[in-house]
Amino acid sequence: MFKKVLIANRGEIAVRVIRACKEWGIGTVAVHSDVDADSMHVRLADESVCIGSHQPQNSYLNIAAIMSAVDVTGAEAIHPGYGFLSENYKFAEIVEKHKIKFIGPKAEIIKKMGDKIQAKIIAKEKGLPVIEGSDGGVKDLKQAKEICKKIGYPVLIKASGGGGGKGMKIVDDENKLSEMYSLARLEAKKYFGNDEVYIEKYFKNPRHIEVQVLSGKNRTVHLNERDCSVQRKHQKLIEETPSPVLDDKVRSDLLDKTVKMVEAIGYEGAGTVEYIYENGKFYFLEMNTRIQVEHPVTEVQTGIDIVKEQIWIAHSGQTALKQDDISARGHTIECRINAEDPSKNFQPSPGIISVCHQPSGFRTRVDGSIFQGCKITPYYDSLICKLICKGRNRTEAIQRTMRSLNEFVIEGVTTTIDLHKRILSHEKFVSSEFDTNWLAKEKFY
Amino acid sequence: MKIDKKLIKELKDYLDEFNLSEIEYQDGTKKVKVAKNISGITNITAHKPNIPPKKEESGTKITSPIIGTAYLAPEPGGKKFVEVGSQIKKGQTVMIVEAMKTMNHVPSTSDGIVKKVLVQDGEAVEFGQTLVLLK
């Protein structure tokens, strides 16, 4: 096993990875920006190195500084967490070139699956249903018109190099196409430096369903699906497993096809394949070649420590898990606690946490990096912790999550805790009649 | 009470010997205090600091609506939203303040000409901090 791992991240995921390393007796190196010097991941790690100033490009995205920290501390592997450099294939390449193990798939796989157009081609080749559309970049308006006619309106125009909902345009009919097409290209150029766009069928009531996989040279296993359809601004807010809307036949088809695709591309590590689900059918959306924020939902449900498995695969090249050994029982829900004000359109709410009481109790887990007196700076993501609760069934999981949310006390910053209580007691959530657009349409305040 | 001149003389000698400015001696109910006049201290008069009163820069202030990182241009190396001397309109974006990955456009509160840009690109700004001054 590795003697020392450097965690190239911050916040709750850095803490999560440090915990996994500690349980395995692996030394840990935290890197941090100047403003993060007092944060939890720095306090928990065995060693820490300041790698730059508050702006991410000077610190957590600063490859040279991170490699220097590896050199100084003698770390043997790097865990990239999520966000920042986790899906940067150039970083993975540089790390490998220096004979340091990148805890994740090979650079070449990250590159392939990170390019949305190429990923879609691969997924289709390997037997996954994909969203009908342009099958690649659209050359001009004429071609755009033809494609839209074929797949039918409404359609969605997306940036090839994009993500996070930026540069996406919905077109309801052909009259709007010309205008939206040039607008999407303009935004794509602006945000991602590449004006290539592609066209897809637009879904009116989509659910977001994803499959967690762990894959080594020997085999690929799945850890069932997660339903992440409660979203705000295209970002997940609540995740649960199993999905309340899948029937057994569709579920086993989904899981089977996912495992086959992941195995076929020679994937190594933990990964997630994301799908859109509507009217009984699922369509490949993208693959995340890293650990995800919502991985604890699956951990609590299956009893498998995904981060430890990830490190094991990085070390040995193989997964120790067999599909038959993995059994998911009951129902698990995760609520993301963000420092933002849901009553003010999720306006960021940085500040100092003056009071912090986190819930506990039977089948209640909190993953986070907060403590009384800690500073939530405005420089990074608003996610401060996650609450994960398991029940025998969905009803009990909701009750337990509610009970835990009511125990939660965070003062000094405004959080999404109150919104979670409102969502969980909403009849549409309880009856699971919602899609990814629900939160934006429903009035909670 | 009889004044003991000898004692005063003795105490004065101690003042000089130990370089003190004041000495007090008590023996039963008898108490004698000897002090010397030190010119260096007594002559000091309080001077008003010779700093001119901070002149509030005149003009319309555009302040930050949130704590975060200020950006003068929509993208790194891009054209700045405003420069000193730019004629701007009410509602026009003068800067972006990023907080928790959210880009907050800071609109101008009135029409005017940019007199001063008070922050640098990438600088951390506080809530209510003046970013731009208009004339």
Suggest the residue from B64, B100, B101 to mutate for an interface test with chain A (most A CBs closer than 10 A).
Answer: B100
B100–A378: do the CB atoms touch at under 8 Å?
A: yes
Closest residue on chain B to A35 (Cα): B124
Residue A19's pLDDT is 98
Query: What gap in Å lies between CA A360 and CA A389, rounded to an integer?
Result: 10
A350–B122: do the CB atoms touch at under 8 Å?
A: no
Residue A194's pLDDT is 83
Closest residue on chain B to A345 (Cα): B102
Q: Which residue has the higher pLDDT, A201 or A23?
A: A23
Percent of residues in chain A assigned helix, strand, coil, to nearest 5: 35, 25, 35
- Are A285 and A206 contacting, i.e. CB atoms less than 8 angstroms apart? no
| Across A329-342, average pLDDT | 97
User: Which amino acid makes up residue A349?
Assistant: S
Answer whether B100 touches A (CB < 8 Å). yes
Q: Tell me the ipTM for this assembly.
A: 0.70
DSSP letter (8 states) at residue A361: S
Mean pLDDT of chain A: 95
Phi, psi of B73 (to 5 degrees): -130, 155
Q: Which residue has the higher pLDDT, B58 or A391?
A: A391
Residue A163's pLDDT is 66
Percent of chain A with pLDDT over 90: 85
Answer whether A347 touches B (CB < 8 Å). yes
Residue B40's pLDDT is 53
User: Which amino acid makes up residue A205?
Assistant: N
H/E element, A143: helix A141-151
Suggest the residue from A346, A379, A413 to mutate for an interface test with chain B (most B CBs closer than 10 A).
Answer: A379
Q: Which residue has the higher pLDDT, A233 or A220?
A: A220
- Predicted confidence (pLDDT) at residue B41 exceeds the cutoff of 80: no
Residues of A in contact with B98 (CB under 8 A): 378
CA distance B84 to chain A (A): 24
- Are A370 and A353 contacting, i.e. CB atoms less than 8 angstroms apart? yes
Q: What is the pLDDT of residues A158-183, one digit of tens each?
A: 888 776 666 788 999 999 999 899 88
Question: CB contacts < 8 Å between A and B, how many?
Answer: 36
Closest residue on chain B to A381 (Cα): B100
B67–A350: do the CB atoms touch at under 8 Å?
A: yes
Reduce the DSSP state of residue A390 to 3 states and report it: strand
- Predicted confidence (pLDDT) at residue A31 exceeds the cutoff of 80: yes
pLDDT band at B39 (very low <50, low <70, confident <90, very high): low
B68–A54: do the CB atoms touch at under 8 Å?
A: no
Residue B45's pLDDT is 62
Residue B78's pLDDT is 85
Residues of A that are catalytic: 290
Phi, psi of B54 (to 5 degrees): -60, 115
Nearest neighbour of B68 by CB, restricted to A190, A378, A381: A378
Nearest Cα to Cα of residue B59 among B107, B114, B126, B119: B114
Answer whether B27 touches A (CB < 8 Å). no
A362-368: long-range pairs with CB below 8 Å, 24+: A362/A400, A363/A300, A363/A389, A363/A390, A363/A391, A363/A400, A364/A388, A364/A389, A364/A400, A364/A404, A365/A296, A365/A300, A365/A389, A367/A12, A367/A15, A367/A16, A367/A296, A368/A12, A368/A15, A368/A337
Query: What gap in Å lies between CA A77 and CA A21, rounded to an integer?
Result: 11
Could you tell me the CA-to-CA distances from A241 to A114, A323, A399 in Å, in that order? 25, 17, 15
Closest residue on chain B to A351 (Cα): B67
Answer whether A341 touches B (CB < 8 Å). no
Residues of A in contact with B77 (CB under 8 A): none
pLDDT band at A339 (very low <50, low <70, confident <90, very high): very high
Query: What gap in Å lies between CA A276 and CA A262, rounded to an integer?
Result: 18
Percent of chain A with pLDDT over 70: 99
What lies within 8 Å, CB to CB, of B40 at 6+ separation is: none
Answer whether B102 touches A (CB < 8 Å). yes
Residues of B in contact with A33 (CB under 8 A): none
| Across A280-293, average pLDDT | 95
Strands (E) across A25-141 are located at 27-33, 47-52, 77-79, 101-102
- Predicted confidence (pLDDT) at residue A422 exceeds the cutoff of 70: yes
Answer whether B21 touches A (CB < 8 Å). no
Query: What gap in Å lies between CA A92 and CA A106, rounded to an integer?
Result: 7
Residues of B in contact with A347 (CB under 8 A): 66, 102
CA distance A189 to chain B (A): 11
Answer whether A19 touches B (CB < 8 Å). no
- Predicted confidence (pLDDT) at residue B49 exceeds the cutoff of 70: no
Closest residue on chain A to B125 (Cα): A378
- Are A277 and A205 contacting, i.e. CB atoms less than 8 angstroms apart? no
Phi, psi of A324 (to 5 degrees): -65, -25
Counting every residue written for chain B, the total comes to: 135
Answer whether B67 touches A (CB < 8 Å). yes
Answer whether A350 touches B (CB < 8 Å). yes
- Predicted confidence (pLDDT) at residue A327 exceeds the cutoff of 60: yes
Residues of B in contact with A381 (CB under 8 A): 100-101
A340–B98: do the CB atoms touch at under 8 Å?
A: no
